[in-house]
Amino acid sequence: MDVTNIAALSGNLAVVGYGLAAVGPGIGVGLVVSKTIESIARQPELAARLQVTMWLGIAFTEALALIGLATPFIFA
């Protein structure tokens, strides 16, 4: 294998790595939203407070996806 093939392989692995890194936040957001909907169904009077907490949870979970996106650029 010459140097150009190794560089292409490294680039492809970065794409696969980000794809795998995006799975975790995707599952996390799904869990946060599903539990919020379940909580609102149990106590509708707390809907506003639960939605604010849900959006904060989504923001923190998506920050993990952005870290996974930025990591190949930092270490490349």
**pLDDT reported for residue 11:** 63
From residue 27, alpha-carbon distances to 9, 14, 51, 75 in Å are: 28, 21, 18, 26
Whether 10 shows a pLDDT value over 70: the answer reads no
Whether 9 shows a pLDDT value over 60: the answer reads no
Give the domain extent around 57.
3-75
**pLDDT reported for residue 6:** 54
| Domain harbouring 38, CATH code | 1.20.20.10
pTM of the predicted model, to two decimals? 0.69
Give the chain's domain count.
1
In this predicted model, which residue has the larger pLDDT, 71 or 57? 57
pLDDT digits (tens, 9 = 90+) for 16-54: 777 777 788 889 899 999 999 999 999 999 999 999 999
